[in-house]
A and B are shown apart, each in its own frame.
Chain A
Amino acid sequence: MALGTVTRAELGEAVYQEVGLSRNESAELLELVLNEIAGALENGETVKISSFGSFSVRRKGRRIGRNPKTGEEVPILPRRVLVFRPSQVLKAHINEALGRAEGGSATRTG
């Protein structure tokens, strides 16, 4: 398994290669896309990207947590968390590619 990290720079470059915009505009567009998604999530919307996955916001209630270092009890306030559910297509694609890379079979079970 390769362990590289892809960042904004590479994604911006991919956008630049794909569309006839300047590198600067490509980077800006990437930012606009991320910001539009973040804005929808902030409004509590679910964002569904077909063949990739969906992002949704879940509300969590207040609960009592513990500081693992000191053992002290601390309240964890109600908050909203983001949940990503990968699509079947994405999961299958990754398993096929990485299963093959390791020489293992990537047959689906269940």
Chain B
Amino acid sequence: MTKSELIARLAEKNPHLYQRDVERIVTTIFEEITSALAHGDRVELRGFGAFSVKRREARVGRNPRTGESVSVEEKYIPFFKTGKQLRERLNG
């Protein structure tokens, strides 16, 4: 399911809403999560899961093709931990 399919499914189930509004709602939700993470904040959606940012230290890596060592700078990785309820739903 892509974002546009998600919007279409929601619009179909909620005929009282304009598709345009559903689109703005979905976009807003993901934009808000993105900007929270860009501030270093966590986003916790109880039952669904939590998004957070993990810091990876700078390290010396290796080009796997040439074996040459390269320095890899410190970086941040977005991380998602599945909520308990969703995990149970997947295994129901």
What residues make up the interface of A, taking CB atoms closer than 8 Å to B? 1-8, 10-11, 14-15, 18-21, 26, 29-30, 32-34, 36-38, 40-42, 45-53, 55, 57, 79-82, 84, 86, 90-91, 93-99, 101, 104-107, 109-110
Contact = CB atoms under 8 A, between A and B. Distances in A.
Contacts of A40: 1, 6
Nearest to B31: A14
Interface residues of B, number: 54
A66 B53 CA distance: 29
A75 to B, nearest CB: 15
B90 A57 contact: yes
B40 A48 contact: no
What are the 5 A-B residue pairs with the smallest beta carbon separation, nearest first? A1-B40, A84-B80, A97-B38, A86-B78, A6-B36
A110 B38 CA distance: 22
Contacts of A106: 73, 75
